[in-house]
Amino acid sequence: MVGQITAYVLMKIDIGSTEDVVDKLRLIEKANKIAVTTGEFDVIVRLEVDSLEELYDITVRKIHSIRGIRETTTAVVEKMVTTP
C-alpha cells in the first residue's frame, strides 16, 4: 500500500540556501509537498511513505545529506482528520 505513513519534516536552513535546498528536496520522490515558511522553520516537506524504515532512509540518507539544512524535526502523523 502506498502512502500508509505521512510525516512532516520541518527544517531550519542556512541563510541564502533556501532555493538550493528546495531544488534538492524536489528530487525526493516521496516528497509530495514542499513549503517555504516564515517563523521558526524555513522549509516544511510532507512525505508519504510505506514504512518507518523508508521514512528513516529518506530523512537520514537523503534529507540530512543536503547542504544548507542546519536542523530538522520530523513529525509523524498519527491521525488525519478531514474538515467539512
- pLDDT tens, 23-41? 999 999 999 999 999 999 9
Neighbours of 13 (CB within 10 A): 20
Q: Which bin fits 39, alpha (ψ -120 to 50), beta or left (φ > 0)? A: left
pLDDT tens digits for range 57-81 = 999 999 999 999 999 999 999 998 9
Specify the DSSP class assigned to residue 21.
H
CB 11 within 8 A of CB 45: yes
> What domains appear along the chain, each with residue ranges and CATH number?
5-76 (3.30.70.920)
pTM of the complete model: 0.91
Residue 60: predicted pLDDT: 96
